[in-house]
A = this chain, B = another copy of it.
Amino acid sequence: MTDLQTQQRDGRPSGRPHVVIIGAGFGGLSAAKALRHAPVDVTLVDRRNYHLFQPLLYQVATAGLSPAQIASPIRRIVSGQKNIAVLMEKVVGVDKERREVVTSGRRIPYDYLVIGTGARHAYFGNDQWEQFAPGLKKIDEATEIRRRILLAFEKAEASQDESERQRLLTFVVVGGGPTGVEMAGAIAELAHRTIIADFRHINPAETKIILVEAGSRILTSFPEHLSASAARQLAKLGVTLKMETAVTSCDVQGIALKDGSRIETATIIWAAGVMASPAGKWLDAPSDRAGRVMVDAMLHPPGADNIFVVGDTAAVTDANGIVVPGVAPAAKQMGHYAARSILALLKDEKPRPFSYRNYGNLATIGRKSAVADFGRFTLSGFLAWLTWGFAHIWFLIGFRNRLIVFLDWIMAYVTFERGARLITGGEN
């Protein structure tokens, strides 16, 4: 165990304050970038070597984009920033007393700590469902879901058993939040438009995409009329909505619902809930039901003024009493706020509390289908979809392939093609 800080400059101690950032998601990266010219040394720790543009992960799961198009090496993103060291290691705890981050291999002392470790999907105490109903947070999960969806079509094409074929052509998405809606819409397009011309025995009319939601409407973070619009747009794409229907179990043959019914299916996608990373446990701090660390409006957990929790890992009500949502722009703002607060603290100034700026809320449904809520006005359909498309390509910042993703999308739009229809992994 050595002091990483003293290694910062080729082994020479810099003597400058050491900021450790755990997690290179939107929050952590935003904090790192905002410290670019600060008189501090920064260590950015992540268990993966890439930053993932998670809002487009569903495109990987539905064969529209390749992993490398939405993931970029962390080292490259911060390559030009001289005061930063990147460490690919798994954090296992935080020693608040000694002010050290504990990884699988070492202890890293910190003066300031920013935690943005994100969230995982949650099965509400039924973790055994995960093998039958994978969630969508990581690249490997996205390629596994892609594998399952494409393999279901292949097996259906080859199957000579009518009921088995129907089961294979039934896709169930659990959860009517943005991810569930995106997934259901994208699978519907894949089934009804993209793939079908390539098969000889599959009848598009046989394919069923069912979106199961426990609540009374989808996209609850949007105004009600947009939820209704999204439901109509999904129906138009051929998605069946099952509202106010909770899941009681998942197995290898299908899914059982609270109304006593059962759907035979080979492909279930879980988009029903999130659970924050174990940062709350590391910090021994109170967390909410979703495991998010309860922080004050300065993003501090109780009694730790040198620690900031950002993004999906934090449960925070901002200076204006707004409950900050778990979306990428909020994570970015929090990361930036944490960096500015550290700069203020270094000058013995008192940071002002965090206030969230809502620039709008977007959810895409499919080709030419989306909803957008800008507070003063809302959009749905084609215009919302265009807005969504430009916003997402624009925010692929730091990705040299922004242009290539853009070209890919234009081609996909014109041809209905999806460029990444590969069944990889497994035994093949």
**Do B140 and A79 have beta carbons less than 8 Å apart?**
no
Using a CB–CB cutoff of 8 Å, the interface residues on chain A facing chain B are 2, 7-8, 10, 47-50, 66-69, 71, 73, 75-76, 79, 85-89, 105, 139-140, 143, 150-151, 154-155, 157-158, 160, 195, 197-201, 400-401, 403-404, 407-408, 411, 415, 417, 419-425, 428
- Which residues of the other chain, B, contact A419 by a CB distance below 8 angstroms? 68, 400-401
Our pick among B50, B143, B157 for the contact of A421 (Cβ within 8 Å) is B50
**Do A424 and B154 have beta carbons less than 8 Å apart?**
no
Q: A79-B198, A88-B154, A407-B404 are in contact. Are A422 and B2 (CB under 8 A)?
A: no
- Which residues of the other chain, B, contact A140 by a CB distance below 8 angstroms? 424-425, 428
Our pick among B8, B67, B86, B155 for the contact of A424 (Cβ within 8 Å) is B67
Q: A75-B195, A75-B199, A76-B198 are in contact. List 13 more A-B contacts (CB 8 A).
A: A8-B200, A49-B422, A50-B422, A67-B420, A71-B422, A76-B417, A79-B197, A79-B198, A88-B155, A88-B157, A88-B158, A140-B425, A143-B424
A56 to nearest B CB, angstroms? 14
A198 and B73 alpha carbons, distance in the complex (Å) = 9
Interface pairs (27), CB distance under 8 Å: A2-B160, A7-B201, A10-B201, A47-B428, A48-B423, A49-B150, A49-B154, A49-B422, A66-B67, A66-B420, A67-B424, A68-B420, A68-B422, A73-B422, A75-B195, A76-B198, A79-B198, A86-B157, A89-B158, A105-B158, A139-B424, A140-B424, A140-B425, A400-B411, A400-B419, A407-B407, A425-B425
A86 and B153 alpha carbons, distance in the complex (Å) = 12
A48 and B421 alpha carbons, distance in the complex (Å) = 11
A176 to nearest B CB, angstroms? 29
- Which residues of the other chain, B, contact A87 by a CB distance below 8 angstroms? 157-158
A47 and B158 alpha carbons, distance in the complex (Å) = 12
A264 and B425 alpha carbons, distance in the complex (Å) = 30
- Which residues of the other chain, B, contact A201 by a CB distance below 8 angstroms? 7, 10
